[in-house]
A and B are shown apart, each in its own frame.
Chain A
Amino acid sequence: MLKILNGGIEVVVEDWPGRLGYLGKGMAPAGAMDNVSLEFANLLVGNPVGEAGLEIAGGYFQAEFGADTVISVTGTDMKPTINDQAIPIWESVEVKKGDLIKFSHFSEFGFRSYMAVAGGIDVPVYLDSKSTCIFGSYGGFEGRKLQPDDVLKFGKPAQDLASLKDRKLNKKMIPEYSREWKIRAIPGPNTCPDYVTEEGMDFLFSHSFKIQHSSNRSAYRLDEVKPGFFAREDGGVGGSHPSNIVDHAYSMRGALNICGNTPIILIADGPTLGGYFCALSIINADLWKVGQGTPSRDYIKFLLCTPEEAIQARIEQRELFTEKSLL
């Protein structure tokens, strides 16, 4: 078990692919903001790669282990320590009962760190997933971020702990981080010429958008679009602003919603429907980059992509999460 000493900025239990199949009932998928880091973390400790781990946003998390186990930390380097001794990331590490783990804050690159434990985090499976949806207050550990004195239970490891320690990810597999995240996206469903001008679409695929401070697990807000972006004067029966439409389902996760003049990426805990149009859809293989984007600091640049390229990228990404990626 793990006793939380300091919940830090925002630490939640998340798995992958999250809670799929319930959008029609208004349930967000939740799930890890950076699935690549979570899945590699699980691979390192011998878990099924989609098993639940801890998503640590920002940092300052501290906890005490109540049992011997093996852990791995991935994602941004928050300079984690065990009993004040630095531990490596992208590797599995043995810990003992009574050990204290501490995280500093996010590094020069990236915003979220992930910790997997051999056997996974033992929280109830709710609607097919252990993921926390903060916005909806369900799933994970009591539907919320962790707080001091919370106690998490671990699942049963798949193998002997001794065989799981000191496993390393091949350095070639560690994702490349940036402060300007290049994210592939498919135009639509609401695009040129009905909703956005050609100049507007050029702007979406050429501007470097700063991530706004209010970005969180529901939505990443970006810089406003420029005059000349919209192809219509108003939203007709949908509303007075040209970004308005009659409410419809959003293509979760990864829709770029145009809300007034503000483009907003709808992600893990985001809304399942609404009355603003969506000009782009981020491809599944690049969603992790949104999760590592640091609010108030990093930028996002969209790269044009076809559905065929998106499917191929997804296939290639899924092939990474096997023992072949370990040294």
Chain B
Amino acid sequence: MEVTVKAHMPGLVARVVVNEGDKVTAGQEVAVINCMKTEIHVFVESDGVVKEILVKEWDEIEIGSPMIVLEA
């Protein structure tokens, strides 16, 4: 089953801290959004494998923008 990790805040993508093919566990940080000059961490809610990374550093994103696809 595919799960899409979406942005929970608008801003710029500061960095993605996983690579395609990485195994992740629920609660793990996968990306960081820069908003209000603050780093806001993006966590996954379920275990899985990173199938596709949809954003890159400095991309401007809105709340709800798809960021990462997991194979859960």
Contacts of A214 in B (CB 8 A): 34-37
The reply on B20 being an interface residue by CB < 8 A is no
Q: A43 CB to closest chain B CB, in angstroms?
A: 28
Chain B residues bordering chain A, tally (CB within 8 A): 15
Cβ–Cβ contact B11 & A216, under 8 A? no
- Minimum CB–CB distance for B45 against chain A, Å: 13
CB <8 Å contact, B10 and A10? no
**CB of A295 within 8 A of chain B?**
yes
Q: Which of A9, A57, A106, A216 contacts B37 (CB 8 A)?
A: A216
Interface residues as binary, B40-69 with A (CB distance below 8 Å gives 1, 0 otherwise) = 100000000000000000001111000000
The reply to whether the CB of A261 lies closer than 8 angstroms to some CB of chain B is: no
* Beta-carbon contacts under 8 Å, B2-53 to A: 8-12, 34-38, 40
Task: Find out whether the CB atom of B40 lies under 8 angstroms from the CB atom of A9.
Answer: yes
Interface members, chain A 119-138 (any B CB < 8 Å): none
Contact between A10 and B34, CB atoms less than 8 A apart: no
Known pairs A57-B36, A213-B34; A296 contacts B8 (CB<8 A): no
A residues within 8 A CB of B10? Answer: 213, 294-297
B8 with A60: CB separation less than 8 A:
yes
- Which A residues are in CB contact (< 8 Å) with B62? 296-297
Find chain A residues with CB under 8 A from B34 CB.
Answer: 213-214
List residues of A whose CB falls within 8 A of some B CB.
9-10, 57-58, 60, 105-106, 213-217, 294-297
Add 13 more A-B contacts to A60-B8, A106-B63 (CB < 8 A).
A9-B35, A9-B38, A10-B38, A57-B36, A58-B9, A105-B63, A213-B10, A213-B12, A214-B34, A294-B10, A295-B11, A296-B35, A297-B10
B interface residues (Cβ-Cβ under 8 A, vs A): 8-12, 34-38, 40, 60-63
